[in-house]
Structure 1
Amino acid sequence: MQPNTEQPAYFSKYENLHFYRDEKGILEVKMHTDSGPFIFTGTAHRQFPDAFYDISRDRDNRIVILTGTGDSWIAQIDFNSLGDVTNPREWDKTFWEGKKVLQNLLDIEVPVISAVNGPALLHSEYILTTDIILASENATFQDMPHLNAGIVPGDGVHVLWPLVLGPSRGRYFLLTQETLSAQQAHQLGVVNEVLPSDRLMERAWELARQLAKQPTLTLRYTRVALTQRIKRLATEGIGYGLALEGITATDLRNAE
């Protein structure tokens, strides 16, 4: 049975996401800001949990490719758009959205490919929820925003980076705000393939089409099997990490 080729309503619902799905059920999700490189904002923080939920519940999606636009994956953030994070009531919204975005990413029960098209300086934990990670040669990986803002890196990076790098190297990466090149990330086992920029999406689609030859239930249940442990660790750690991050955010009012 072929997937439904009619575009669902959510394809035009989110201002920072462009969706394209082919006849095999391969869904490409491209983050962008006004069709250019994606700048992370409060709007994206609010909308991404719903977007990934919509993707997860659409059973016509058989493989998902997540990528950015232009020469960056996520390299910029509009801090002002996030609201007053020193206000506990405002942080409560961030707390809920931060939990749900990773839960809903992990609830996408089909294989997910990350095509990291440039610097991934924030919310790199999204990448680490995916099954195949491809990176362009100009990609870099860093947790830029947390310590720069004086708050705990507790939105999932504290769970997933030590998981993929190992506890000691993962803590070093977060505490020093280390920047990993695509080649270093490949050597450390974070990235599966490093490619020229002009080959990145071609390779992502090549792998997606290879996977699409499998029966749909095989695709779905393989993803379920491969993410079971990650989902458990995420459930255990993300709410606690965000609570600690929120404490340090509210303490910014007292910072000199």
Structure 2
Amino acid sequence: MRWEDYKTIEFEDVAGGIRICRLNRPERLNAVNPWMHRELSTLGRDLQEDDSVKVVILTGAGRAFCAGGDQKPNPNEAPPSRGPASEVRWREAEEIVRGIIELEKPIISAVNGPAMGLGATIALLCDVVIMAKSARIADSHATVGLVAGDGGASIWPLLCGINKAKEFLMLGTHIYADRALEVGLASYVYEDAELQEKALEHARMFLRMPTYAMRATKATVNRLLRQSADLTLEAGLTYEAISAKDPDRVEGTAAFTERREPNFTSRMGTWGDRG
């Protein structure tokens, strides 16, 4: 995709080859609608192919990093069809995760506010995760009746350990910046007003490094990420697709939009009998 064709992500170039990618739906807390989902699926590849880009900073416009999936997307804002919607979304979900993993260039997430669901996944997949002190992160799929299937299971266990990851993902726990730093989800925490400048400082550190040594080191470590994605991503997307048809998903979404406690009917039921 050409840079000028992006509608929900804006770009700013900083001297030396730093590209700031800013999720840009601030009126919806940068929630991921179908357009943004499509654009996130091509972003990693486009950044890789642009030789002018040396280091990437990923952040959000306004007061959020990314609120996760948009629960009320405007049907008039859908991108051109590329096939059956469920198949396209599945393919794009894989491309989002693998696009970040396969990006050879350093990528820093500057988490300026809430990073939820898919927003948490893309933030945590980055090489360096810096958070504003007031920011929080969560993969809250389960709280609305969905399986955390779009990459969270691939990255959370590698950062905070299997047991903590299971707890955080199964409960949809909101983790504020200082706690995220403590458990290994964040690399650094800064005062809110300092975040963007600190992100640039980190980016400039990478600019001073020898390109091949740095990128090959990243590629070596990212073999673990590829292996994790190979093990979990397809299964997670499959379970998420099944859970999307579950009555608890309908109730979870309704409760979320109506700002009330959900009344799930399958609490502690047998998950293997579903679907």
**If the length of structure 1 is used for normalisation, what is the TM-score?**
0.86
Alignment partner for residue 41 of structure 1, among 23, 33, 57?
Answer: 33
Contact 1:40 1:74 in 2 (8 A): yes
Q: 2:200 aligns with which of 205, 215, 237?
A: 205
**Partner AA of 1:50 in structure 2:** T
Match of 1:60 in 2: 52
1:76 is displaced (CA, Å) by 5.7
RMSD in angstroms over aligned alpha carbons?
2.3
Shift of 1:114: 0.9
Name 1:192's counterpart in structure 2. Answer: 187
Displacement, 1:242? 0.2
CA distance 1:132–1:253, shift in 2 (3 Å): closer
Aligned with residue 92 of structure 1, among 72, 87, 90? 87
Which residue, out of 109, 113, 125, partners 1:114?
A: 109
Cα contact 1:135–1:182 (8 A) shared by 2:
yes
SS at match of 1:40: coil
| CA drift at 1:49 | 0.7
The answer as to whether partners of 2:133 and 2:190 remain within 8 angstroms in 1 is yes
Conservation of the 8 A alpha-carbon contact between 1:35 and 1:69: no
For the 8 Å contact 2:26–2:62, the answer to whether it is kept is: no
Letter matched to residue 197 of structure 2: E
1:136 aligns with 2:132: yes
Contact 2:145–2:248 (CA under 8 A) maintained in structure 1 = no
**Letter paired with 2:5:** K
Unaligned ranges ≥5, structure 2: 76-83, 251-264, 266-275
* Residues 174 and 17 of structure 1, relative CA distance in 2, 3 Å threshold: same
Cα distance in 2 for partners of 1:63, 1:95 equals 28
Name the structure, 1 or 2, with higher relative contact order (CA <8 Å, separation 6+): 1
Question: For 1:29-76, what per-residue CA distance to the aligned partner results, in whole angstroms no more than 9, with x for missing partners?
Answer: 111116884122121112211122211222322111111112211126
Note the C-alpha offset of 1:222. 2.5
Change (3 A) 1:75 1:178: same
Q: Distance in 1 between matches of 2:217 and 2:17?
A: 16
Q: Retained in 2: the 8 A contact 1:117–1:200?
A: yes
Equivalent-residue separation in structure 2 for 1:223 and 1:82 (angstroms): 38
Amino acid at match of 1:101: I
Shift of 1:224: 1.2
Match of 1:182 in 2: 177
Please give the TM-score of this superposition, normalised by the length of structure 2: 0.81
Decide whether aligned partners of structure 1 residues 178 and 225 sit closer, same or farther in structure 2, where only a CA change above 3 A counts: same
Would you say the 8 A contact 2:26–2:63 is kept in 1?
no
Q: Deviations over 1:59-96 (max 9, x none)?
A: 3221111111122111264224398xxxxx53222211
Is 1:159 matched up with 2:151? no
Question: Which runs of 5 or more residues in structure 1 are unaligned?
Answer: 1-8, 84-88
CA–CA distance in 2 between the matches of 1:186 and 1:233? 22
Give a deviation string over 1:75-127, Cα, whole Å, max 9, x none. 264224398xxxxx532222111111111111110111111001112211111
2:80 is aligned to none
The equivalent of 1:6 in structure 2 is none
The structural deviation recorded for 1:206 is 0.8
